[in-house]
């Protein structure tokens, strides 16, 4: 039997020679992730049913990132209990404020993700790690408690859907646009319970940051996870970040096997904007219409890496944020924050009139650090624009890539980068489109 990449990884972690879609197997994940929200519920269940000791402290990563810095007394108490549990049970991979960041940016940076790994996390966007060839899936808090007790969990083997990108996009397109366009084509449940395995010639032009964005939003199509077969881009990232499973394992190469294949034609693709109230409501930037903005949000786990901030800063150089619009910049981790500071990106943001927030999920989930009031409209580089996602149920959120978000912050309404005079695509950090153009020029 020819197995898909996801099936190979699951079989290896279930101690089986092969698995098929629909099989229910017990797996022992390499790593289990908890944040303070999913983690505190798991801790309560564990303490009610457990024998007092965590099954394997080395299996765990604890990252407080949702309501920190603590927004109120209740959040502070949750964070304290989460921290105390980590110390009590010897969880060495605990990342305190000032030494961590947003979990889905932090873990790859720390070298904790590698091809062929099986990761489970108490957050739906755990699927981000598929960008490095891992099978990474979000689970519930009671599942986390079961893992605390036994170190293993049942898993229903999903079908694999092969997403193949054909053609090459137009200017100012990023990984964010590829996934928004894909969601628009397949719908919010187009890959329900399945694995989205991404392929296509353009994929080899995608940086690791664009790949993280692509896999981060696979869950918005109903998928269990997204995954990209490892290649040179993967190995370069792993080498730079000294990942634990650095050496290539050919047994986890993609066979191309899939339940079905979906071809996505991205020829001449424009930057995409997801209009309220679904990430799958994507339309080309030219069709958005006149949408005035109260707030623009750049960063977070979907687009808070250094490349994303470089691209946004490249647009903002020499410009000012519109006087009726707020611009919030949220680096994805402490390391990204420090690198952005060293490169002068934070000065560019401050000179433009932006506010810089600490690495935190904050406003993305409507928690704090920038929630919206009734009737307010925001453009965000985050992954969800559901009703009330970023604050009041009568607010509206649009989703876009960082360069579109930066240009829109200057204009005070949703616009493409071409609306700003004198901006060149290769400024500071090239987009996917510019990288592809360079490769074509080199070939010719």
Q: How far is CA 404 from the centre of its chain?
A: 18
Q: What local confidence, expressed as pLDDT, does residue 434 receive? A: 65
Q: Domains in the chain, please, with CATH?
A: 5-265 (3.30.499.10), 273-435 (3.30.499.10)
Q: What local confidence, expressed as pLDDT, does residue 245 receive? A: 55
Q: Encode the chain (444 residues) as per-residue pLDDT tens digits.
A: 789 999 999 999 999 999 999 999 999 999 999 999 999 999 999 999 876 789 999 999 999 999 999 999 999 999 999 999 999 999 999 999 999 999 999 999 999 999 999 999 999 999 999 999 999 999 999 999 999 999 999 999 999 999 999 999 999 999 999 999 999 999 999 999 999 999 998 998 899 999 999 999 999 999 999 999 999 999 999 988 876 555 555 557 777 778 999 999 999 999 999 999 999 999 999 999 999 999 999 999 999 999 999 999 999 999 999 999 999 999 999 999 999 999 999 999 999 999 999 999 999 999 999 999 999 999 999 999 999 999 999 999 999 999 999 999 999 999 999 999 878 775 667 776 666 565 555 545
Say if residue 149 is exposed, middle or buried (CB neighbours under 10 Å; 0-12, 13-18, 19+).
middle
């Amino acid at each position: 039997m020819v197995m898909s990449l996801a099936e190979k990884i699951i079989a290896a972690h279930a101690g089986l020679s092969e698995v098929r879609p629909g099989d229910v197997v017990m797996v022992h994940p390499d790593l289990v992730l908890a944040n303070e929200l999913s983690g505190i519920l798991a801790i309560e269940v564990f303490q009610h049913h457990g024998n007092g000791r965590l099954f394997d402290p080395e299996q765990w990563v604890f990252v407080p990132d949702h309501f920190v810095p603590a927004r109120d007394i209740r959040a502070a108490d949750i964070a304290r209990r989460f921290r105390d549990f980590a110390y009590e049970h010897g969880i060495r991979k605990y990342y305190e404020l000032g030494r961590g960041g947003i979990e889905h940016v932090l873990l790859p940076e720390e070298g904790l993700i590698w091809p062929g790994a099986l990761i489970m996390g108490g957050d739906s966007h755990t699927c981000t790690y598929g960008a490095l060839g891992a099978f990474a899936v979000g689970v519930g808090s009671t599942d986390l408690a079961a893992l605390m007790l036994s170190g293993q969990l049942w898993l229903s083997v999903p079908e694999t859907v092969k997403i193949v990108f054909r053609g090459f996009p137009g200017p100012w397109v990023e990984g964010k646009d590829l996934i928004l366009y894909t969601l628009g084509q397949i719908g919010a449940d187009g890959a329900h319970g399945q694995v989205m395995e991404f392929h296509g010639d353009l994929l080899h032009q995608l940086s690791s940051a664009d790949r993280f964005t692509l896999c981060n939003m696979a869950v918005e199509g109903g998928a269990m996870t997204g995954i990209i077969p490892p290649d040179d881009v993967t190995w370069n990232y792993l080498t730079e970040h000294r990942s634990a499973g650095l050496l290539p394992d050919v047994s986890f190469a993609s066979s191309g096997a899939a339940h079905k294949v979906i071809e996505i034609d991205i020829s001449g693709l424009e930057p995409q904007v997801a209009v309220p109230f679904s990430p799958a409501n994507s339309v080309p930037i030219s069709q958005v219409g006149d949408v005035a903005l109260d707030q623009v949000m750049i960063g977070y786990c979907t687009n808070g890496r250094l490349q994303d901030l470089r691209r946004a800063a490249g647009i903002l150089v020499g410009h000012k944020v519109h006087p009726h619009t707020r611009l919030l910049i949220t680096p994805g981790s402490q390391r990204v924050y420090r690198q952005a500071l060293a490169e002068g990106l934070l000065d560019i943001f401050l000179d433009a009139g932006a506010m810089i927030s600490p690495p935190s999920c904050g406003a993305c989930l409507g928690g704090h650090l920038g929630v919206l009031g009734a009737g307010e409209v925001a453009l965000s580089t985050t992954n969800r624009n559901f009703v009330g996602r970023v604050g009041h149920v009568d607010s509206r959120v649009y989703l876009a890539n960082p360069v579109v978000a930066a240009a829109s912050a200057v204009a005070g309404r949703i616009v493409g980068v071409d609306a700003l005079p004198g901006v060149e695509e290769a400024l500071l950090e090239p987009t996917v489109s510019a990288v592809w153009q360079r490769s074509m020029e080199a070939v010719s």
